[in-house]
Structures are given as structure tokens and as C-alpha cells.
Amino acid sequence: MRHARRTLLATGATLALAAGVLVGTATTSQAATQQACDIYAAGGAPCVAAHSTTRALYAAYNGPLYQVRRASDNATANIGLLAVGGYANAAAQDSFCSGTSCVITVIYDQSGKGNNLTQALKGQWPGPAAGGNDNLANATAAPVTVGGHKAYGVYVAPGTGYRNNNTSGIATGDAAEGMYAVLDGTHYNGGCCFDYGNAETTGNDDGNGTMEAIYFGNSKGWGWGSGNGPWVMADLENGLFSGVNAGYNANDPTVNNRFLTAIVKGGANQWAIRSGNAQSGALSTSYSGVRPNVSGYNPMKKQGAIILGIGGDNSNSSAGTFYEGVMTSGYPSDATENAVQANITAAGYADSSSGTGPIAPGSRISLQATTSCCNSDYIRHDDADTKVVISPVDASSSATVKADSTWIVRAGLANSACVSFESANNSGQYLRHSGFQIYLNANDNSSQFAQDATFCPQTGQNGQGYSFRSVNYPDKYLRHYNYTLDAASNGGSNTWDSTTFWTDDTSWLVAQPWG
């Protein structure tokens, strides 16, 4: 039997940054003369909310984009720009969050109206966080590049949500408005509801027509389009609409561009859905016409809250990734939106250059611990039960032990940008968490299994190798503790959430396969 886990070591004092410090403010000008909100203003439909964690949405904007909070000491920092009107200073976040994890606490409104997005509080549907509130997004879960610069999106796992119920300038009643969002078109599910836009100020379902928001996903509970989805639809409360009819509308296509521009706009007895590839090309119109032929949506009864990642009643079982989006006062013309689309494609969204490297799908690997106690140990499954452990493996180990320590990397079952680990000698069985402990289980093809078996690789928490973040619990990573494998946060209620050696225990070297 292996020795029990070593006792807590003393740690040095750390210097905490003051809450709210702005990190990475702009210092130089940028050549861009117009950004998205400048274009909307010129078109007569000015932005009244402008949110992005990747770039400025006004050419003259030089304030913070978002705020992060780190787990090690709960200090916060505002993440700013590399230049006025430019791109996020992701290096400032990386420095501030080094050696620990961070969540996004505020997404600032660049319009000057103070319509910031913060943690969604308990609504008609409770969230998983304390008090029934929703979770906050892991700040490093959605790395991308924009214009060649590293940036991070807002990764919404089920249970994550942002909201502002006390807004200024957002459309109410039947007033006209427009909105767009740039999203990850490959990250979605059928849960309700991955929305960005106008919602109830009460946090409750207040009836038909009390919302007007962009929805993205493959839910068929209310409406759907052609193909298998996902679709851009409008959440108008008690209905996801893909056109004038409830249910199926053939003209709303399946869209799954890696980076997706999604648009919904509405006014007096008129509304539209538009979408396009956020990396290139023009917008297409899926629907433009009168309000749905269902009672309660004409006239509209919009209340003017703003939501991200949830439904108006705090339905929070959805998944998606948000990079930027705005809401306008007035009904934007197609020509204005076409110009905004050109601005978005010129911004240069691309996948993070770090990629998955040697853990590309299809490769056979073994995963080696980096903690000093255990750096000859590898992740393996024990045929005696379904739990996953770490144990020593070397050239003299049996063929069975070597095979049990070998994994085939698959594209993430729940998110193809991440990975899943299939046993090399138990085909169809994957590492998955249940009760935040890691098991080897057969894939039952359920959405829940796919989420539990998907992990997103990032640079190792201790600077070595990789750390693997749970796709549906973004504050939890694959960790060894007492020689078993768990999904652990850096501090928490479970024994394996201990902060001692957390960065080492969650960092793994990708080694040549033993089997």
C-alpha cells in the first residue's frame, strides 16, 4: 500500500493585488477609425450595451473589458486593452492568474451606460452556486486569438450565467432594438437557454413577449430549423422562434461555424434573424417579417434586463461561448449590420495558437504526474473496479499495467475543441467524473456522459505539461489526491479540493504510451 498523502507544507506569504486594479490599460493609439458601435451609431441605431472580453467595440474606447477574480486570495483585477480601440491584454490576465485559477466576475459595458454584466442571481430557476445563484465562467476556458493577439472568451458551462436587471437605455415594451453576438459555433447543447439579449427584470417567466434575445443551440423544445442544428433563433419567452411559426421553420439553417455572428432585431410587428461566419463572408437572413403568429408576441412587452448564458427565468442548463456582443436603440438596417459583419471579420478571430499539441485527437499517450512525490506515477485504471488511480509504471511493469496506463485521445465528446480519453484496452470506455471522482465507464451516448467525459487542455498550472479542465465544471481539473483521480477545484468542500500542492497535482506530462 502506498503511503498516505503528505501533510500540509508551510507556504510563503503572497502579495495580493488590490481589488479592482486595472491591468493592462491602453498606452498607444490604433489605426482603426471605426469599430462595431461606431458603425451602429453612424447608421442611426447606437449601442446601449457593448460587451466583449476580446476587443474594444468603439475606436475610442480605452477602459477595462472585464474583471477576473483569482481563487488563491480572492483578489480582483480589471483586464484592459493593448491599445486604445484595440485588443484585450490577455498577458495581464495570465500574469495575475498564474499558479491559480480565475473566474470572470464582471463584463463591462463599453457604451458608457453602465450596463455591466455580473453573476446572475437566483431566479425562478435556481443556479448551482451559493444562494441559488449561477456560477461564474472560468477565465481561461476559451482561449482564442483576435488579430493575432491572444484573448479569452466567456465559456458558459451548464449552471453559468450573467445578468443585469437594472439597466439604462435598453428597449422596453414594443420599442425597437437590435443585437448581435459573436459565439463559438461548435460549443452548444440542447439545454435552455444559451441567450444574449433582452429579458425580464424579475428573473421570472413573465409571459409571452417579455423577452427578446439571441438563442444559439440545438433545442427542439419550442422551435427549430432545417438539419440537426444548432440554430440561431429568437428567445421571446415561452418560445424559441426560428420564423413566423411556432415549431419548425425550414428557412432557418443549421449553422456551426467555428466563429459565428448571430443577430436578432425587433420592432413594432417586425423582427429578423441573421447569421454569418465571423471569420469571413457576408450575413444571410433566415427570417425577416411580422411577429410570430402566436398570441402574446404583438405587441411585445420587453422589460429591458440583459442576460448572457441563461434564459429570462434563469433557466441555466445551457452551454456556449461568448466573445462579444451589443444591443442597440432602434432597428438597425441590413446595410448597417453588413458593415458590422465586415468589421467583425476584419477583427481576425482564430483558434488559440497553443492548440492541443501532442494530445491531438487520435494520438496514443500516457499521462505522467509532476508532483515530486509521484513523478514516476501515471494515470491508469485498475481492473478490480471502475475507479481511476495513479501508480508507478516502468519497463518492468506487466503488459496489463502498461495497457491500463495508455489512453487514446478523442475529440471532446461534448466539445470538439477539447478532448476525451478512451481506454486503449477497453474500447468505448472513457475517463469521466461522477460525484467529482474519476471513473472508467462505458459511453452511454447521453449528453450527461459526454459532458462528464470532456476535458479542456491548457498550460499546466505549475508551468509543466497540461492541466485538464472539466467542460461542465470549469473550476475543476483532473487531479490526483491520495493516489486516486478526482475533479478538483483549488479550495472547496471536498477533501481533494485542498489547496496544498494543487498546482502540481493538476499538472500532467504527456508521455509516450506504455501500451
Tell me the catalytic residues.
Answer: 237, 313
Label the pairing between strands 259-267 and 177-184: antiparallel
Q: How many CB atoms lie within 10 A of CB 228?
A: 11
Query: For residue 19, what is its C-alpha cell?
Result: 481589488
Q: Which residues of 393-430 are buried (b: 16+ CB within 10 A; e: fewer)?
A: beeebeeebbbbbbbbbbebbbbbbbbbbbbbbeeebb
- Return the DSSP state at 9: P
The overall longest dimension of the chain from CA atoms, in Å, is 76
Beta-ladder partners of 261: 182, 276
Give how far the C-alpha of residue 515 lies from the chain's centroid of Cα atoms, to the nearest Å: 35
Q: Between the CA of residue 353 and those of 97, 144, 146, what are the distances in Å?
A: 20, 8, 11
Q: Between the CA of residue 343 and those of 34, 337, 347, what are the distances in Å?
A: 8, 10, 6
Query: Residue 13: CB partners within 8 Å, gap ≥ 6?
Result: none
Q: 3-state class of 456 per DSSP?
A: strand
Beta-ladder partners of 402: none
Where do the DSSP E strands lie in 34-119? 47-52, 66-70, 76-79, 102-107, 117-119
CB 222 within 8 A of CB 208: no
Q: Between the CA of residue 98 and those of 46, 66, 75, 92, 460, what are the distances in Å?
A: 38, 17, 13, 10, 10
- Mind giving me the DSSP string for 177-219? EEEEEEEETT---SSTT-EEEEE-SSSS---TTS-EEEEEE--
Q: Give the C-alpha separation, 250 to 253, whole Å.
A: 7
